[in-house]
């Protein structure tokens, strides 16, 4: 089971492509800070604007660092084309990823049956654990708990990244999919509430810049230290908010640049954050003692 604090990794860029050396150094730092797992090539990693070659390379770079540390890698492999998702999942398998994160198909708006058949096709084509990424805010569609339960009966459908922000969902999912089905929050601001409702961890944006604090919060929950959980939850709350003051990952890449990780560059159609947003991010980081 996947559990704890996973980082939805940013992808640092140069003017000519992915900054490979910076990326691997960043992954090494994440592991040293106590992050439980790594997620390359998700939305925060700007997968929509990575070429297929870059996508493959970023997964390979991450796995190369993580494998020696025995830290799990859940590689982004989603697409609104089933054939493309199968291709990305097959590459992640060859690269040595532990699992793939597959987003619900965006723009196409498949029915619940279409969602089931999409994931089943990937499942049947590639022998690798699959984590469903359910994020209606970006993909328009919402996978029902009933459809998820159908998929959970397949041996390699092992969990969900739940970004519905519906805190009733984990209870229903646990009831239909079982406790062995990993439930990872996709919303930093409600990560603790998600745990309280039966979740197992979080795939976090904030942990790009505060990996130790995010990991400590998950560890405190696992240890039953609720006072420490509450302390860290409240400390991180303004930071979480600031990471979404503009479209992710622009704020977190700016924040990472303040820590010396990359130059903050995002690819069009995303742009760097405004001066007002920069000040908000700085203030939140200062309040957390990050800068």
Given CA atoms 184, 62, 101, 156 in this order, what sign does their dihedral have?
A: negative
List, for residues 132-158, the tens digit of each pLDDT value: 999 999 999 999 999 999 999 999 999
Could you tell me which residues are beta bridge partners of residue 9? Answer: none
Averaged pLDDT of the chain: 97
Cut 0.85: pTM above it? yes
State the Rg of the chain over Cα: 18
Catalytic: which of 93, 133, 253, 265? 133
Q: Which residues contact 193 (CB under 8 A, 6 or more apart)?
A: 167
Q: Which residues contact 242 (CB under 8 A, 6 or more apart)?
A: 251, 255, 277, 280, 281, 283, 284, 285
Q: Is 254 a catalytic residue?
A: no
pLDDT, mean of residues 275-289: 97
- Residue extents of the structural domains in the chain: 4-225
Is 171 a residue whose pLDDT tops 90? yes
Residue pair 246/271 in contact (Cβ under 8 Å)? The answer is: no
Length of the chain counted residue by residue:
291
Residue 130's pLDDT is: 98
Residue 1's pLDDT is: 84
- Count the Cβ atoms, other than its own, within 10 Å of residue 106: 15
267: nearest Cα among 23, 76, 14: 14
- Count the Cβ atoms, other than its own, within 10 Å of residue 120: 15
Catalytic: which of 161, 253, 254, 265? 161
212: nearest Cα among 10, 4, 34, 6: 34
Is 199 a residue whose pLDDT tops 90? yes
Please state, in angstroms and as integers, the Cα–Cα distance from residue 91 to each residue in 56, 95, 131, 140, 284, following that order: 7, 6, 16, 27, 38
Looking at residue 197, what DSSP letter applies?
A: T
Is 91 a residue whose pLDDT tops 90? yes
Residue 249's pLDDT is: 98
Architecture of the domain made up of 4-225: Alpha-Beta Barrel (3.20)
- Count the Cβ atoms, other than its own, within 10 Å of residue 260: 10
For residues 232 and 213, give the distance between their C-alpha atoms in angstroms, rounded to a whole number: 7
């Amino acid at each position: 089971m996947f559990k704890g604090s996973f980082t939805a990794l940013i992808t640092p860029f140069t003017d000519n492509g992915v900054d490979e050396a910076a990326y691997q150094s960043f992954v090494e730092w994440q592991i040293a800070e106590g992050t439980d797992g790594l997620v390359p090539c998700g939305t925060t990693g700007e997968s929509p604007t990575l070429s297929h070659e870059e996508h493959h390379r970023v997964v390979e770079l991450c796995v190369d660092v993580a494998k020696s540390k025995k830290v799990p890698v859940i590689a982004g492999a989603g697409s609104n084309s089933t054939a493309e998702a199968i291709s990305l999942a097959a590459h992640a398998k060859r690269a040595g990823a532990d699992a793939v994160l597959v987003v619900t198909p965006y723009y196409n708006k498949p029915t619940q049956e279409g969602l089931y058949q999409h994931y089943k096709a990937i499942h049947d084509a590639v022998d690798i654990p699959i984590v469903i990424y359910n994020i209606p805010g970006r993909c328009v569609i919402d996978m029902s708990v009933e459809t998820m339960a159908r998929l959970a009966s397949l041996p390699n459908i092992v969990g969900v990244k739940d970004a519905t922000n519906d805190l009733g969902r984990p209870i229903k999912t646990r009831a239909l999919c079982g406790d062995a089905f990993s439930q990872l929050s996709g919303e930093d601001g409600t990560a603790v509430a998600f745990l309280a409702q039966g979740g197992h961890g979080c795939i976090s944006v904030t942990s790009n810049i505060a990996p130790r604090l995010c990991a400590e919060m998950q560890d405190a929950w696992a240890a039953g230290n609720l006072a420490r959980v509450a302390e860290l939850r409240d400390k991180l709350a303004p930071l979480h908010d600031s990471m979404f003051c503009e479209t992710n990952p622009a704020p977190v890449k700016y924040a990472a640049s303040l820590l010396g990780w990359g130059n903050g560059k995002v690819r069009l159609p995303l742009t760097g954050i405004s001066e007002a947003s920069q000040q908000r991010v700085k203030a939140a980081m200062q309040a957390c003692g990050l800068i």
